[in-house]
A and B are shown apart, each in its own frame.
Chain A
């Protein structure tokens, strides 16, 4: 009985494990290094920007002050917050409503409606950007919050995940509510929504992040600087201050900070919801 699995002694296994951990650690540090470099450069003096040290020699906050005072950055942040929060709230409401109906209510054409909705899954924004722009312009929504918010609400991904989730809820719960004489809106609002709170909160984080980081759509439909969102703002900022990397990195740090902080708090939830989204 010579099992190969037992041919290694315990200490050899330990060495292999140790090497694997070391390799993983080095790769991981290399992966996040550019983000640290961004933060470090944001605190550097202009003369110091291209020094090779990660810790700035004479850290300064002047870059941040400059970004906030010379550019309308607070306005961009405010716009982005308003748009991201509105899209997230409305999308959660609409998607959970249709997810509930598609999973729990019986009506003619339900499967066709679901398949049609799902088929929009692979349509990406750059493919339809030109006709969508023309459409939104025709609707008079250029340079408006409505134009930033409404087209960003609709995506099949959220509907699909919520429908899958609602399919797994036992029918007895609903039947009890029906016996109590509850209407469908009440069943949805006070039974289904609370039951799906974990998924709704994961989706809320994902939707918020997506909209905070959105660039192409805000770029296309807002020429009015008062309505710019942060990503458009820093892209234009780069065009203006192309060599002042200390300012550009300070602006980038400000824009990236909220999403990175969200990630540090909710990393488990964010990564779990992505892990399950790949499976059908």
Chain B
């Protein structure tokens, strides 16, 4: 009843403009969406397409373009530094993603119960997230200054000798992984807390009555029911590790890809080629490889999880 009345009323109004109410609603819809749609198209959509096109051109510093075919890709295939950056990125992902999963979930389980104490602890674990990665990189550099910084002094006090964390090619990448975990674990803790809260308490109750210990109920209830959250965490942390601005910031301020290119990640290499050597076309070719890799990862994870659905028959 009410619905038909409102239809009549709103159908009656636009007579003055000569449009039906449906047409008016559609026009309003397009107008409301327009600013965001245009902005996303211009500042993300077009650059995305340009990224793929740019790879086939040589661009000089003054904006002159010359079509060079697949020359940039030939150069890329033979560029040892690109391959180095590729393996550095893979290593970073392989260490960081599981570390974030374990620390994020571990912290979430530790502060799962809702009370004042845990609320405060959650805030403390999350606090590093509030600080920019430029500041984060600077703070950890102070702590890790060779010989006189707090961490090297603690390490040598433990009898492990004088270690240079950011100065040695063997350790620098692990230092970057460590700082990334420190920065990001609070964020994933919150995501996991959201997931844990969705698991009905009765499940644990029932398991306990059946005689299941804490380990068993973690293995048979928590982990399986957390699969959607886990999927989200894996995708987001992987994409962020490969292509996130945060990874770039950390490398730029903390190591600049060094020492001896041991932290030269692909996103940093792209930036260097474009803005230090003005090789925009080559940087485009590198970026297109990154786009393909990200798409491949996403599709692979989608297939593995049967389209991101988690109903277990």
On whether the beta carbons of A130 and B51 are closer than 8 Å, the reply is yes
Assuming the contacts A125-B245, A126-B267, A131-B284, asked whether A278 and B133 have C-beta atoms less than 8 A apart, the reply is no
Q: Which of B139, B191, B195 contacts A35 (CB 8 A)?
A: B139
Among A232-280, those with CB < 8 Å from B are 234-235, 238, 245, 248-249, 252, 255-256, 259-260, 262-263, 267, 271, 274-276, 278-280
On whether the beta carbons of B240 and A101 are closer than 8 Å, the reply is no
Interface of B is mostly: helix
A98 CA / B247 CA spacing, docked (Å): 31
What is the distance, in angstroms, from A123's C-beta to the closest C-beta of chain B? 6
Total interface residues on B, CB under 8 Å, equals 104
The reply to whether the CB of A12 lies closer than 8 angstroms to some CB of chain B is no
The reply to whether the CB of B150 lies closer than 8 angstroms to some CB of chain A is yes
What is the distance, in angstroms, from A152's C-beta to the closest C-beta of chain B? 9
On whether the beta carbons of A278 and B298 are closer than 8 Å, the reply is no
Residues of B within 8 A of A82 (CB): none
Q: Give B280-312 as 1s and 0s: 1 = Cβ < 8 Å from A's Cβ atoms.
A: 100110010011001000100000000000000
On whether the beta carbons of A248 and B248 are closer than 8 Å, the reply is no
Segment at the interface with A among B32-40, B74-82, B94-102: B32-40
* Total number of residue pairs linking A and B with CB closer than 8 Å: 289
B149 to chain A: closest residue by CB: A50
Among A83-111, those with CB < 8 Å from B are 94-95, 97-98, 100-102, 105-108, 110
On whether the beta carbons of B121 and A271 are closer than 8 Å, the reply is no
- What would be 17 A-B contacts, judged by CB atoms less than 8 Å apart? A38-B138, A50-B150, A94-B35, A128-B47, A128-B51, A130-B51, A154-B39, A175-B6, A179-B9, A184-B25, A209-B130, A212-B132, A216-B252, A260-B130, A260-B131, A262-B130, A279-B229
Assuming the contacts A38-B135, A105-B28, asked whether A274 and B190 have C-beta atoms less than 8 A apart, the reply is yes
What is the distance, in angstroms, from B140's C-beta to the closest C-beta of chain A? 7
The reply to whether the CB of A15 lies closer than 8 angstroms to some CB of chain B is no
Q: Give B193-225 as 1s and 0s: 1 = Cβ < 8 Å from A's Cβ atoms.
A: 111001000000000110101000000000000
> Which 5 A-B pairs rank lowest in CB-CB distance, beginning with the nearest?
A107-B29, A131-B50, A101-B32, A213-B132, A278-B191
* Max count, chain B CB within 10 A of own CB: residue among A107, A117, A138, A209: A107
Q: Which of B32, B42, B59 contacts A97 (CB 8 A)?
A: B32
A25 CA / B142 CA spacing, docked (Å): 24
Q: Which of B24, B43, B209, B270 contacts A150 (CB 8 A)?
A: B43
A152 CA / B46 CA spacing, docked (Å): 15
What is the distance, in angstroms, from A133's C-beta to the closest C-beta of chain B? 7
On whether the beta carbons of B139 and A37 are closer than 8 Å, the reply is yes
A132 CA / B5 CA spacing, docked (Å): 51
Q: Which of B32, B54, B126, B182 contacts A188 (CB 8 A)?
A: B32
Interface of A is mostly: helix
Residues of A within 8 A of B280 (CB): 130, 134
Q: Give A39-51 as 1s and 0s: 1 = Cβ < 8 Å from B's Cβ atoms.
A: 0010000000010
On whether the beta carbons of B140 and A220 are closer than 8 Å, the reply is no
Extra pairs beyond A105-B25, A267-B126, A275-B191 (7, CB < 8 Å):
A20-B110, A31-B128, A105-B32, A113-B33, A122-B294, A130-B270, A130-B287
Q: Which of A4, A21, A95, A179 contacts B213 (CB 8 A)?
A: A4
B residues near A, CB below 8 A? Answer: 2-3, 5-6, 9-10, 13, 22, 24-30, 32-33, 35-37, 39-40, 42-48, 50-51, 54, 59, 63, 107, 110-111, 117-118, 120-128, 130-135, 138-140, 142-143, 145, 148-150, 153, 182, 186-187, 190-191, 193-195, 198, 208-209, 211, 213, 228-229, 232-233, 239-240, 243-245, 247-249, 252-253, 267, 270-271, 274-275, 280, 283-284, 287, 290-291, 294, 298
The reply to whether the CB of A170 lies closer than 8 angstroms to some CB of chain B is no
What is the distance, in angstroms, from A43's C-beta to the closest C-beta of chain B? 14
Residues of B within 8 A of A128 (CB): 44, 47-48, 50-51, 287
A21 CA / B132 CA spacing, docked (Å): 29
Assuming the contacts A34-B139, A126-B248, asked whether A137 and B47 have C-beta atoms less than 8 A apart, the reply is no
A124 CA / B15 CA spacing, docked (Å): 47
Among A124-181, those with CB < 8 Å from B are 124-135, 137-138, 150-151, 153-154, 156, 159, 172, 175, 178-179, 181
On whether the beta carbons of A278 and B110 are closer than 8 Å, the reply is no
A residues near B, CB below 8 A? Answer: 3-5, 20-21, 23-25, 27-29, 31-32, 34-35, 37-38, 41, 50, 52, 94-95, 97-98, 100-102, 105-108, 110, 113, 117, 120, 122-135, 137-138, 150-151, 153-154, 156, 159, 172, 175, 178-179, 181, 183-185, 188, 209, 212-216, 219-220, 231, 234-235, 238, 245, 248-249, 252, 255-256, 259-260, 262-263, 267, 271, 274-276, 278-280
A90 to chain B: closest residue by CB: B35
On whether the beta carbons of A132 and B244 are closer than 8 Å, the reply is no
* Max count, chain B CB within 10 A of own CB: residue among A122, A185, A215, A231: A215
Assuming the contacts A20-B110, A259-B130, A278-B195, asked whether A98 and B37 have C-beta atoms less than 8 A apart, the reply is yes
What is the distance, in angstroms, from A57's C-beta to the closest C-beta of chain B? 16
On whether the beta carbons of A127 and B294 are closer than 8 Å, the reply is yes
A220 CA / B26 CA spacing, docked (Å): 40
On whether the beta carbons of B123 and A267 are closer than 8 Å, the reply is yes
A123 CA / B44 CA spacing, docked (Å): 8
Q: Which of B142, B153, B190, B243 contacts A271 (CB 8 A)?
A: B190
Assuming the contacts A29-B124, A117-B40, A275-B194, asked whether A216 and B249 have C-beta atoms less than 8 A apart, the reply is yes
